[in-house]
Every structure is written in structure tokens, then in C-alpha cells.
Amino acid sequence: MGRRGVLLLSLLSCGIVSCSPGNGEGLDISGRPLNEGGNVPLAATLASVQANVFNPSCIVCHAGANAPQGLRLDAANSFTNLVGVPAQQDSSVLRVAPGNPDQSYLIQKLEGTASEGQQMPLGGPPVSQSTIDFVRQWITDGALPDPGGPADMPPTVTSLAPDPDSIIGDLPTEITAGFDQDIDASTINDMTFTLVQSGGDGRFSEGNEQAIVPASVTLSGANPRLAIMDLSGVSTIPDVYRVTLHGSGANVILGINGVALDGEFAVGFPSGDGTEGGDFVVEFEVRGLQPSLASIQNNVFTPTCSVVGCHSGPQGPNLPSGLDLSSSNASFSSLINSVSVQEPAILRVAVGDADNSYLIQKLEGTAAQGSRMPQGGPFLDQETIDVIRLWIDAGAPQ
């Protein structure tokens, strides 16, 4: 390559250098024209988080069809992609867990405490803690959406509690379904949001299924994207249960734009095949408390002991007695044949010997040190503790 090549590349370099940076006239902090909404003061609302965090710091990557991890954080998609959606890098954590910023992956990634990957924004300066605190407050307040939704897109299901295909101890007192846009409240009722019990055989084609009659089925007054089935008064019967959110048939769930639910559910949230219609059908199993670590974890440790600020892990100076009960693996490691910090002469779980296990002593209030657990109560009933005893006496298998 001779002079012509050198000249060409010199011209290209000069061309790029001459593309001077913008002076920002008429633009907001995100580089968008002020008439698109302009600068929004920092506040604990999605609109403010969008304008002050997502737009200026995130969407250079997290937008469009090629957004990493499928996480789009532009205004049209941020709520749908975040709230109630499991993180791709760590599916045990929701990207945004309403009411719980510490357990929200978004906060962990912004603060650099996530178990996976690097602190966000990748390669850029971290978002200031004072700004993150507004994001925290928005999540603490329930991570509510801004009013309104897409004009002509069918609503999709973005979350369900309990999780699809999960195995739980007791029938929950309510089942909640989240949507990606505001829902027409008049279409949320016991004909469009249903729960059926299999009849004991785990199948739903035998004719012996039992429809569960809930206390109520309503759209949340505080969150127009959250439907709630109230199961107060419904007794727990171990069985497989099927939840259906109807997007086809005579009675369907409609977005406030009048478009029917796009409900087909295959693997992960959100639901849908991209077109209006289709039922959202998932199942979960109620087994009741069993003398197994998985059951005790799901029914006792996770809801009672591993709450934020208590034995919720990970290991660190703020974890009480270094006892991590946040998952089956963590509980097993922390408990089995592990010496009690308060009473070094006693094992937390002495395999095959419930009476001499510090865990039982702490739950029954007979330990020589410290207060009875759960601290401050309410305490576990003896029937529940007896199941834990059975598990220990049986060898405390993992």
C-alpha cells in the first residue's frame, strides 16, 4: 500500500476527529430533546429513575434488540423487564423485588455487590450512592409503574407467586400475577383468574378436579399491573394446583387498551407468543411440611429465618453467628455438624440427635445462651419443630 492508502486512512482519522462532541443544546442529561420529557428531578418514581439513571447510564447498551441478557431499560420496557423478573445471571434473585431493595439484583449490580459479573454501568463510572438511594426508595415503595401502558400491545404476564412448577409447604394466602401494563380492573375476576386442584392424582384430565373458590379475585388498588387471588379461609390440601389466567374464550383479561392477554407460557417470563389471546396456564404443588431439608428450607428457614438482616447470607461481618440459612446448600453447610458459636460444646445440628442439636434448643427456647428463635417471635409451633426433629433424627440428609 502506497501513498494513496496512507492518505485515505489519514482522511478517515481526520474525519472522525472532526466529528466533535455535541454541545448539548436543547437536550436533557440523556442527550434526548427536551420536548420528549426533559429533565426530571430525582425522586422515588419510575419516571425519575428512568430519566436520571436508566436513560443516561444504561440504555447505550441495554436497549434495542441486542440488549445484553435481553434486559431492555428504555422507557417502554424497563418496568416489564425488571419488576418481578428473575435475574439471568442469578435466577434466585429478582431483578427488582418490590419492597425489598437489598434482594433486588438491580441494586446489587449498581452497588457492585452482585454475586455475578461486574458492577454496572460496565466500564463507566458508578452511579452515585445518593442517586441509587432514590432507586432503593422506589423499590421500597413497591416498585410501582408509571401510569399508562403501550397503546396497542397485548398485555403479558411478567410474574406469578408462587413460582410456576414450585413445590411449597402450604397453600399461600394469596396468589399474585404481575403484568407488563395496566389491566382493565373489570376483567379481573374468578372467571378469568382461576385455581383448580387436581383431585389428588396430579393430573387435570381425569374429571375429578376441584375448582377452588377464592375469597376474592381483584386488581390491586395500588398497582394496576398486579392481580390478586385471595385464598383466605381455603384450607391446605397437599396436591397439584393449576393456575389459569384466561386470554382466550368468553371471559378474558384485557389491558386498559382493550387488547386481550397474550398468555402462552413456555419457559420463562414474560408470557406470550407476540399475538393477542392465549391462556396462561401453570402448576405448582403443595406438599405440606416434610422431614426433608428442601421442605424445611421452603417452609421454615426461607420464610422465617432468612429474612433480610437475619440469617439471609452471604457470609460477612453482619451475618448473625455466621449462620447462613438462605438456601438448602447454605443451610446444610452452616448447620450439619457445625459447632455453635454461642455454645461451642454443642453442634448446631448433631446428626441423629435432635435433643442435642442447638438448632432445636434455639427453636424451643431451651438454649443456655441468647434468645429464643425466631428472635422476637412469633415462634414455631411444636408440630413444626417436631418435623425438624424427625429430619435430624433421621440423619439430617441433604
Partner 1 sequence: MTAGVVATKRLTAFVALSLAIMCQPSLAEPYLAVQKGLKCSMCHTSPSGGGKRTAYGNVYHQAELSERTLNMGDLWTGELSRYLAVGGDVRGGWNQIDVPGQRKSSETDLEEFLAYVEIRPLPRYLTIYVDAKLRPEDPVVRSQYVRLSIADNRWSIKGGEFFLPFGLRLQDDDAFIRQVTGINFNTPDTGWELGFEQEKWSAQLAISRGTAGGPEVDSGKQYSLRVSHVTPTWRAGGSLNFNDTKFGDRQMQNVFAGLRTGRVAWLAEFDFIIDDGTPTGRRKLWASLVEANIALKRGHNLKLTVEYFDPDTDVSEDGQNRLSLVWEYFPIQFVQTRLGYRRYDGIPQNPAQNREQMFLELHLPF
Binding of residue 147 to partner 1 (CB under 8 A):
no
Decide whether 16 or 222 has the Cβ nearer to partner 1. 16
| 274 lines the binding site for partner 1 (CB under 8 A) | yes
257 binds partner 1 per the rule CB under 8 A: no
Report helix, strand or coil for 339. strand
In this structure, are residues 277 and 247 in contact, taking their beta carbons and an 8 Å threshold?
yes
Spell out the residues 6+ positions from residue 362 whose beta carbon is closer than 8 angstroms to its own.
370, 372, 373
Per-residue binder mask for partner 1 (CB under 8 A), 49-68, x = binder: -------xx--xx-xxxxxx
Per rule CB under 8 A, is residue 295 in the interface with partner 1?
Answer: no
Please list the alpha-helical segments (H only) found in 93-223: 105-111, 129-140
**Around 37, how many Cα atoms within 13 Å sit in the side-chain half-sphere?**
13
**Residue 32 binds partner 1, judged by CB under 8 A:** yes
Residues 74/92, Cβ–Cβ less than 8 Å: no
Query: Does residue 145 have a cis peptide bond before it, meaning omega lies within 30 degrees of 0?
Result: no
Q: Does 34 bind partner 1 (CB under 8 A)?
A: no
Residue 270 is a binding residue for partner 1 (CB under 8 A): yes
The answer to whether 351 and 396 are in contact (CB under 8 A) is yes
- Subset of 85-114 contacting partner 1 (CB under 8 A): 88
Residue selected from 40, 43, 74, 131 as contacting partner 1 according to rule CB under 8 A = 74
Sole binder of partner 1 in the list 92, 113, 115, 369 (CB under 8 A): 115
- For Cα atoms 153, 244, 188, give the angle at the middle one, nearest 5 degrees: 60
Q: Residues binding partner 1: what is the number (CB under 8 A)? A: 59
105: helix, strand or coil:
helix
**Which position among 33, 238, 352, 397 is part of the footprint of partner 1 (CB under 8 A)?**
33
- Any bridge partners for residue 188, and if so which? none
* By the rule CB under 8 A, 148 interacts with partner 1: no
Residue 375: which residues within 8 A CB-CB, separation 6 or more? 310
Query: Looking at 151, 222, 250, 267, which residue binds partner 1 (CB under 8 A)?
Result: 267
User: Which residues sit at the interface with partner 1, rule CB under 8 A?
Assistant: 1, 5-6, 9, 12-13, 16-17, 19-33, 36, 56-57, 60-61, 63-72, 74-77, 88, 115-116, 118, 121-126, 128, 267-268, 270, 272-274
